[in-house]
Amino acid sequence: MSVPHLDLHADPIDLTAALVDIPSVSEDESVIADAVETALRDQTTGFEIVRNGNAVLARTHRGLPTRVMLAGHLDTVPIADNVPSRRERDHADGDVIHGCGTVDMKSGDAVFLHLAATVDAAHDLTLVFYDCEEIAASKNGLGRIERELPEWLQADVAILGEPSGGFIEAGCQGTLRVRLTAGGTRAHSARSWLGDNAVHKLGAVLDRLASYEARQVDIDGCVYREGLQAVRISGGVAGNVVPDAAEVDVNFRFAPDRSVEQAVGHVRNVFAGLGLGVEVTDSSPGALPGLGAPAAAALIEAAGGQFRAKYGWTDVSRFSALGIPAVNYGPGDPNLAHKRDERVPTAQITDVTSVLREYLSKA
């Protein structure tokens, strides 16, 4: 099979469409990785380029005082009858490109690839295009690169091309899932006094959740809003049985000034005294915005001062853990990611390209 051609000197709007037209569902990114690698080798100069699985990495070694990393994932969620791409110039949102990955995040990848070939950068650049971001964290290509090629993940600032509507979204929230379990005694519901209803014990959990007052935390001018929510509840045996077991899953989205351990401690305190089992089933740390770092401050200036907190978790957390200030900055409304009618306004692609060109061109 021939490798699809990508023209890195083309308008990044057209490059977005070309990337979308290469299906790349998670764990099936070899074709798009081949195309990206070939394009970088043939159409850029001064880059060291390596392949790691279905990830493609490129970096310059010009001895410049700062290094900027541009990182984006190549995979998408499963296609929903929305490949190949389709351009609609008179949509209610203006001129848009429809298709799987237009938002998350092939438009961001297109911007980065175009700039690699066309920008006269005043910084050394590292580009990381990686695989398997949309599935289990254990398969994330960025994690594999961190284990196998850690020297490639060094920079003064990292820009992740996740959709942010053209705003700089700094840092990210941490996320924690906890399962609360209640036990009881099974009995016939006609003789309920002989039993102990486990489902009823979860009422106190719901009461505490309903009255919970979430924090709002200002960090570097970014306001993070925490949230503690029940996301699943189960229990019951049959229509005539007092249940002897019940459980509820609670999701805590926490500001990046808390560690995972502190978040777990907070959740335990919220439900203290209820006599319930508490099991942490999933956790990921947040990422501080780091906007006080000079390289990050210069990016904010180039974007006209438009920045906000990132709600939700992204791979900026990985960079933060490495001590690298990191932001999310890319075209597309994150609310449209993964949807059948996923689409990106072409004006946002142009604007993000312009802002990053200005930023990368200035020392």
| Residue count (the chain) | 363
User: Is residue 283 helix, strand or coil?
Assistant: strand
φ/ψ bin of 46: left (φ > 0), alpha (ψ from -120 to 50), beta (otherwise): left
Annotated active-site residue 133? The verdict is yes
> Which of 34, 133, 226, 333 is flagged as catalytic?
133
pLDDT per residue rounded down to tens, the chain (363 residues)? 689 999 999 999 999 999 999 999 999 999 999 999 999 999 999 999 999 999 999 999 999 999 999 999 999 999 999 999 999 999 999 999 999 999 999 999 999 999 999 999 999 999 999 999 999 888 999 999 999 999 999 999 999 999 999 889 988 999 999 999 999 999 999 999 999 999 999 999 999 999 999 999 999 889 999 999 999 999 999 999 999 999 999 999 999 999 999 999 999 999 999 999 999 998 989 998 888 888 888 888 888 888 888 888 888 888 888 888 889 999 999 999 999 999 999 999 999 999 999 999 997
> Which of 29, 34, 37, 75 is flagged as catalytic?
75
- Cβ atoms of residues 346 and 13 within 8 Å: yes
CA-based nearest residue to 77, from 105, 54, 110: 105
DSSP string, 70-137: EEEE--BSPP-S--S-EEEEEETTEEEEESTTIIIIIHHHHHHHHHHHH---SSEEEEEEES--SS-G
Q: Do domains 12-172+287-361 and 174-284 have the same CATH topology?
A: no
Annotated active-site residue 88? The verdict is no
DSSP string, 212-267: ----EEEETTEEEE-EEEEEEEEE---TTEE-SEEEEEEEEEE-TTS-HHHHHHHH
CATH of domain 12-172+287-361: 3.40.630.10
Residue 363's pLDDT is: 79
User: Is residue 319 helix, strand or coil?
Assistant: helix
CATH of domain 174-284: 3.30.70.360
> What is each CA distance from 33 to 37, 82, 159, 215, in whole angstroms?
6, 20, 20, 42
- Annotated domain spans of the chain: 12-172+287-361, 174-284
Residue 249's pLDDT is: 97
H or E element: which one contains 32?
Answer: helix 30-43
Q: Which residues make Cβ contacts (< 8 Å) with residue 193, sequence separation at least 6?
A: none
Residue 291's pLDDT is: 85
Residue 24's pLDDT is: 98
